[in-house]
Structure 1
């Protein structure tokens, strides 16, 4: 059973110094953490245990906050099992920090509900205020460079571009993202830029299609290739690929499944077509017989006013 501890305990927790505790975070398993190694977030700038105050319910909970150069990691602590538990990862880009009262500050952002943080003492508060606002400012200044990097990676027609685009998607905000953070969907199986056309649409549109072990994620970019937008997610266990290329030289297949309209996908290269078809093709039996998780129905790509779906 999870047992949360307070800030006066955690810095000396398990007989470890503050530095040893940070090393423990980076080298030992964190319950609930999936995806890339936590060390990919960079060096820890500062960490300490604080109180997170829910402004709606006014409930308090102890949380261990870990500040990285571009992210803020939120953990709880299981004292009995001697391990940390993942509670959230917030990108610093776009965050606002506001001092509320003694030893208390608030962080707000477009991708999460505001959080009120109460430090254990004046010294902890001073350290957070010396690091966090400065790191938020640096992350915001770094954002244009990140946007330029995205434009360089699309189209990802080379192996190194595909690898860098994978890192970009796992480390930067995705507008409109819903549900489980993308970092925790597992390792990326395959990714490429494709053209997609839905049953009710008359034209293909460019999309980034990202395959995880249990999910197929569909993303788009703005015209300037500076931001990534979430379009939808499909559970891989309830979809399949059917060949639909009726003409020579056309690399098209159709994604079908329960509770969704068919989606036609067009690939730019034969190699991409083969890989997508290999990963998504299922044995030739009725889709209705495929196992389906009723607790998580397919999340179809969202309809937006600016599109014609």
Structure 2
């Protein structure tokens, strides 16, 4: 492995030199804490990634950390790396495929087929990756204790850390587009909701993306996140349903769905949710006036079509 680490890999640089660049220089599209915070690099190499549905192939650089697999695109013209994804090892499975090829699958992302440059690279990946996945899975219950600290996310730093947690850890029952591909998180908070005519409010983590409103729940011990559903933002809107002091409630309505009543814990959260989910082009008088929470009861006006 010593010889492989010193072999030129990209741009006339060795594997070790590239690893130093990744951990010390900016990676296009990377946000949050420094990549070096992921720990020591176990192994890295350039591979070919096969998209299962588009059947396209692209050059990628994989970096294995103790608990994560970092995927970077390669810009050979500018000698730059571009962030493509960060997979938590505790949520993936590894399956050797054809010659020098293996498949990565997980509940939060589409499967990825990876082809190594030669049999030696493949051997090293198969020596390290399955073992690290197993270790990460054993370590995962201890990592999940972090969730109990972040929920409820009643402080700014907790909200910020919870965003990172949800983007980097498996979500039970997740369906559709991986959460990392939904775009930037616009707003997130803990709310209580009830559906239709139910009188029972249930606690949810509500996350607003540009095109989707995501609902998640946690178990009683606050160790597991469960997917509860999503609503397309273009087909929903918020209506004021709270006219009594101390009741910070609004209703989410839309075509082909039962109304969802949302109860917020703090006035600031109510204002932000209502601001983001209202439809200003609808003449419903639902925008709360500055400094007044909850706002006055809405006037009876014409409903807005979707």
TM-score relative to the length of structure 2 = 0.72
Superposed CA offset, 1:25-72 (max 9, x none): 454454xx5754672762443221234567899987654322233222
Give the aligned partner of residue 172 of structure 1.
169
Aligned mate of 2:221, from 220, 224, 235: 224
Match among 3, 15, 19 for residue 16 of structure 2: 19
Separation in structure 1 between the aligned mates of residue 54 and residue 162 of structure 2, nearest angstrom: 40
1:212 aligns with 209
Instruction: List aligned pairs for 1:1-309, cutoff 5 A.
Output: 12-25=9-22, 27-30=25-28, 33=29, 36=32, 39=35, 42-43=38-39, 44-52=41-49, 62-80=59-77, 82-84=79-81, 88-99=85-96, 103-112=100-109, 115-199=112-196, 201-283=198-280, 285=282
RMSD: 3.6
CA displacement at 1:181 relative to structure 2: 3.4
SS of the aligned residue for 2:163 comes to helix
**In structure 1, C-alpha distance between the alignment counterparts of 2:133 and 2:107, rounded to whole Å:** 14
The answer to whether the Cα contact below 8 Å between 1:34 and 1:183 also exists between their aligned partners in 2 is no
Post-superposition offset of 1:207: 0.7
Of stretches 259-268 and 46-55 in structure 1, the one that deviates more from structure 2 is 46-55
Deviation, 1:148, is 1.9
Check the 8 A contact 1:11/1:48 in 2, yes or no. no
Once residues 59 and 160 of structure 2 are traced to their aligned partners in structure 1, the CA distance between those partners, rounded to angstroms, is 37
* Cα distance in 1 between the residues matched to 2:253 and 2:51: 42
Offset from partner CA, 1:101-154 (integer Å, 9 cap, x none) = 764544444445655544323432343234323321221122101222212322
Count, aligned residues: 276
Contact 1:256-1:262 at 8 Å conserved across structures: yes
For the 8 Å contact 1:108–1:115, the answer to whether it is kept is: yes
Structure-1 separation of matches of 2:56 and 2:35: 32
Alignment gaps of 5+ in structure 2: 1-6, 285-306
Match of 1:300 in 2: none
Matched residue SS, 1:133? helix
Q: Supply the distance in 2 between the matched residues of 1:276 and 1:57 (Cα, whole angstroms).
A: 37
Is the Cα–Cα contact under 8 Å of residues 49 and 59 in structure 2 kept in the other structure?
Answer: yes
Most deviating of 248-257 and 20-29: 20-29
- CA distance 1:107–1:279, shift in 2 (3 Å): closer
> What does the per-residue CA deviation read over 1:164-203, in whole Å, with 9 as the maximum and x for residues that have no partner?
3222112211223344433344443332211112226453
2: CA distance between counterparts of 1:140 and 1:49? 26
| Structure 2: distance between partners of 1:106 and 1:181 | 17
Q: For residues 78-110 of structure 1, give each alpha carbon's deviation from its aligned partner in whole angstroms, at most 9, with x where no partner exists.
A: 545655565554321043335567645444444
**TM-score, normalisation: structure 1:** 0.71
Q: Contact between 1:46 and 1:68, CA under 8 Å: does it hold in 2?
A: yes
C-alpha contact 2:27 2:82 (8 A) present in aligned 1: no
